[in-house]
Chain A
Amino acid sequence: MSGTNSTAPQALNVSDLRDQLDGMAHREGIHKWDLGASRSSNATVQVDRGEAKQLKASQRSSITVRVWNDAGLVGITSTTDLSPSGLERALIGARDASQFGNANDIPGFSPLAMAPTPELNRPLQPALGIQKLLSTLKQAEKDLLGQHQAIETVPYNGLSEGSSERIYLNSDGAVRQVQRTQASLYLYARAEEMGRKPRSGGAIRVALGSEGLDVQGCVDEAAQRTLSHLNYQPIDTGRYLVCFTPEAFLDLLGAFSSLMNARAILDGVSLSDADSIGSRLAVPFLSLHDNGLHPGHVGAAPFDGEGTPTQRLRLIHNGQLESFLHSEATARHFGVKPTGHAGLGAKVSVGPDWFEVSTSEGTTSGTTHLHHSTSLDTFVLIESLNALHAGVKASQGSFSLPFDGWLVRDGEKLSVESATVAGDIRQVLSGIVHLEPDAKVTHQGVSPHVWVDGLAITGEA
């Protein structure tokens, strides 16, 4: 059986792409253009009670072409067709779209598009092939089902591996290219005891390649999380001392990243404004970086959609907002340098890469007795937040979200049957009472357990 390597499409030919675009642009009288292209090859397996459920593979490629017309306005077109005719159609389509470009906000080339990029130590890993993935996942499912008789199925599971490539070119001669490999495993188990409701829990692992996945750790964590919810009961509605796991806090912070997003600020949909730099956003002992270069960030790339190098950026220092995330256009507006957080578009999107939450150097919360595994206080430990797409109102700062977690009393954990947590992100950030000392590297960032007092919980009791 062939692995993904043997069937992977050829890598993108950067010089060929650039030559084609140059020639076409010259013929069409287009003097300024840039291009983002990507290619990926992936294989994924899913299993169901010892049998292969679905085996999937994909080979994908796409390009996005931006064109500046004679009036300086920008248009864009995307396509999966990398043939010469596809490229030409995209180029002409972008020029046509440029007639509708926004004269008030014209993106340009990043001034850092040819600056040196950071070295990322992300060696490419070989693909194991789909049959090996399948046998690995079958064994993982078997091991998970064997951990407890109440675990009946693992309805959501998947093991995937793949390679991808991304390039950025522009008519000034910028050339960026990165290749990477990635593998991921998720196991989400469902458990049910006689006369009780079904409960579920799961875990995820990512690595540069399948060989590097901590499969046993994923199995153990999925089992532990699932079983920890078997003993459940409703919770009384009220206000509680809440401890967010690193995963849950990073989810919440990510949902409100518009607080630090220059694009959102210029669009008027952020709670921050241009004068917010230097203002207090969180408790003094909280600091926040965006660090797309973190060693734990498996999907790290050395440059963003505009070719700007990725960097570690301090966003909040000692509770004060210190920087925004920028594209070329927003940085120009604010009179700073691009930060490496841009996409590629007619209107360029801006987004965070990899949050690092930490205790400000030399500070302490004053409530250091709190710890999620040893504290005797009564608190709600929120394991994961659900339905962020529906329950977060980022432009208002409010959230009302279902969650999975436990009511912890005198050190005893009792799973919460069904409940929501609600609040305002500004109150959360300014109401943090403690950051535990040990940060955890998750698949989406780094954070310790974060304690907040007085959050509203609605339960069924």
Chain B
Amino acid sequence: MHLSMPGVSRALLCAVLHNQSLTHSGGLVASHPTERQDHGLDPAQTAWQQRLEALLGEGCRAGADLVEVFLERTDHIGVLAEQDTITSVSPAFAMGAGIRVFSNQRDGFVSTNDLSDAGLLRALDQALGMLNLERHSAASLRSFDGLRPLRDFGLEKQGWLVQAPDLSSSTALLLQGTDLLQRHGQHLDVRRGSYSRDWQEVLVAASDGTFARDIRLHQSCGLSVLAADGEHRASIGRRYGSTDRPDDLKTWDVDASAAEVCASAATMLYADYVDGGQMPVVLANRFGGVIFHEACGHLLETTQLERGTSPFAGMVDQTIANPAVTAIDEGLSAGAFGSIAMDDEGMESQRTVLIENGVLKRFLSDRAGEMRTGHQRTGSGRRQNHGFAAASRMRNTYIAAGPHRPEELISSIDRGLYCKSMGGGSVGATGQFNFSVEEAYLIENGQLGQAVKGATLIGEAKEVMPRISMCADDLDLAAGYCGSVSGSIFVTVGQPHIKVDSITVGGR
């Protein structure tokens, strides 16, 4: 499991929404003009409800405990600008279904691009067959009472695909970004801007009556540079992400982003490599939250309980972290990259307190997790696309704000490291986690010192959580991508500035 592609805070992005001065170039068009006439998966306009009920009925009659169908349509655009040229525009559209059958707590899952009746039946047969079930076999006692009325979370989102920026405006903005990098920076060998727009329509139907639809829109944009001066090199990037805000790109303060990237590159270009060792660290807010994501968040997913790889199994209501730590996972923050109106199993999203004042309160659970571990579902069943069965996954995950000012954390350390900007990380089967640090400063006698690079922080979840001894009052969030058992998904990490009393800092 790993987190990648650092972003910056939603708060920052939201803040700049009001200061955006970019002129938008008029008409918004979808990448596919026929979209307006396409009813997609909308059961009110199509025969999907009847088709799904027939499919689910077949599965139940074959003896399945539960049958779930996840239908999906996607529309993606990726754009890359390098120096002063658009070098890549990559549209893609897709559709598919994932059919999952449960029997005696086991499950079979089949995904297919073939959405014809024959294709879906073939996939159902295959999923049933995995569990030694068969259609038209001996009569089953299982009944299917039909789908409940549709919960349509996508009703107000019908126009999002056409409201999102068209290629003219997104390419113009990226070129503006790379131009601003040139103006703000020095020694820049490479200037890049990138934008991606992921639109997804999902329809979930299950034999317990679940019937829900949603439309999601994720947009991400970023700037990056490679600075070089003789033997000195630094690569710096910042990425921003939002959910369900078609207009977000239009209000991106690209100038502020370019200035931030260039300032960081100027600092890190001549930074020395950090000396490795054990030391106290202060992790900045926003993407500093990668530490909780990797060190603890993944281990609070029921997927890990099922595998027997969580050191926190059986520890609900026990202290697993410093009392300074309260941690939350939720899918509700407006516009945050990990927010979801419903999860990929049709359950409405919610706010889940994972740790309260150091005490473990809750695990993140999906349908299979509830079935196999007894932990109630939390609206956390997520998947990259129809090719994956849903699994318990994080959404917007963060450590809550504490009482301290960030300066108090730094001044409490005689010799240590201030990690201002984090890269990706991962956690392994034994709870050992790691993440890289993109921009760091030595702390000497309570003051920030010289910039250093090349640090990788490693540790073990059970050991590091009690060492988070101070939390500041500046909680902020950042967008990222998390790769795990059900693929790569959009998430948010976050925290205020925090102090870790001791951790291994890998360096040279």
- A-side residues, CB < 8 A to B, are 1-2, 7, 9, 48, 51-62, 75-82, 89-90, 93-94, 96-97, 99-102, 104-105, 130-131, 152-153, 155-156, 188, 190, 197-200, 237, 267-269, 345-347, 386-387, 389-391, 393, 395-398, 400-402, 418-423, 456, 458-460
Residues of B within 8 A of A419 (CB): 458, 504, 506
What is the chain B residue whose CB lies nearest that of A92? B32
What is the chain B residue whose CB lies nearest that of A49? B308
Residues of A within 8 A of B454 (CB): 393, 398, 400, 422
- Known: A59-B123, A267-B82, A401-B506; 5 extra A-B contacts, CB below 8 A, are A55-B106, A56-B389, A347-B80, A387-B435, A398-B454
What is the chain A residue whose CB lies nearest that of B112? A59
In the complex, are the beta carbons of A97 and B507 less than 8 A apart? no
A-B pairs with the 3 shortest C-beta distances?
A420-B506, A458-B276, A390-B424
Please encode chain B, from 73 to 108, with 1 for each CB lying within 8 Å of some chain A CB and 0 for all others.
Answer: 000000110100111111111111000000000111
**Shortest beta-carbon distance from B477 to chain A in Å:** 20
Please report whether the interface of chain B is mostly helix, strand, loop or mixed according to DSSP: strand
In the complex, are the beta carbons of B504 and A54 less than 8 A apart? no
Known: A102-B85, A460-B504. A393 touches B235 (CB 8 A): yes
Known: A190-B308, A190-B429. A396 touches B234 (CB 8 A): yes
In the complex, are the beta carbons of B31 and A422 less than 8 A apart? no
In the complex, are the beta carbons of B426 and A390 less than 8 A apart? yes
In the complex, are the beta carbons of A58 and B507 less than 8 A apart? no
In the complex, are the beta carbons of B91 and A93 less than 8 A apart? yes
Residues of A within 8 A of B431 (CB): 198
| Residue of A2, A9, A59, A459 most packed against chain B (CB within 10 A) | A59
| Residue of A76, A391, A398, A456 most packed against chain B (CB within 10 A) | A391
Known: A389-B2, A400-B454, A456-B276. A153 touches B167 (CB 8 A): no
Q: Which of B128-136, B326-334, B344-352 contacts A (4 or more CB under 8 A)?
A: B128-136
In the complex, are the beta carbons of A54 and B107 less than 8 A apart? yes
Known: A397-B233, A456-B507. A93 touches B31 (CB 8 A): yes
Residues of A within 8 A of B96 (CB): 60, 80
Residues of B within 8 A of A347 (CB): 80, 87-88
In the complex, are the beta carbons of B504 and A55 less than 8 A apart? no
Whether B378 sits at the interface, judged by CB under 8 Å, is no
In the complex, are the beta carbons of A386 and B307 less than 8 A apart? no
Task: Give residues 15-41 of B contacting A (CB, 8 Å).
Answer: 31-32, 34
Whether B456 sits at the interface, judged by CB under 8 Å, is yes
In the complex, are the beta carbons of B4 and A390 less than 8 A apart? yes
Can you report 12 A-B residue pairs in the complex whose CB atoms are below 8 A from each other? A55-B127, A62-B113, A78-B93, A90-B93, A237-B277, A269-B226, A389-B4, A390-B434, A393-B454, A420-B276, A420-B458, A456-B508
**Set A104, A401, A418, A422: member contacting B432, Cβ < 8 A:** A418
In the complex, are the beta carbons of A155 and B235 less than 8 A apart? no
In the complex, are the beta carbons of A105 and B87 less than 8 A apart? yes
Whether B148 sits at the interface, judged by CB under 8 Å, is no
In the complex, are the beta carbons of B110 and A56 less than 8 A apart? yes
**Shortest beta-carbon distance from A225 to chain B in Å:** 12
Residues of A within 8 A of B107 (CB): 54-55
**Shortest beta-carbon distance from A298 to chain B in Å:** 22
Known: A60-B387, A346-B90, A420-B458. A400 touches B114 (CB 8 A): no
Whether B455 sits at the interface, judged by CB under 8 Å, is yes
Whether B189 sits at the interface, judged by CB under 8 Å, is yes
**Shortest beta-carbon distance from A198 to chain B in Å:** 4
Known: A2-B125, A7-B122. A387 touches B426 (CB 8 A): yes
Residues of A within 8 A of B432 (CB): 402, 418
Known: A267-B190, A420-B506. A78 touches B456 (CB 8 A): no
In the complex, are the beta carbons of A402 and B112 less than 8 A apart? no
Whether B278 sits at the interface, judged by CB under 8 Å, is yes
In the complex, are the beta carbons of A75 and B126 less than 8 A apart? no
**Shortest beta-carbon distance from B438 to chain A in Å:** 9
Q: How many Å lie between the Cα of A93 and that of B77 in the bound state?
A: 11
Known: A93-B31, A155-B309, A389-B424. A396 touches B235 (CB 8 A): yes
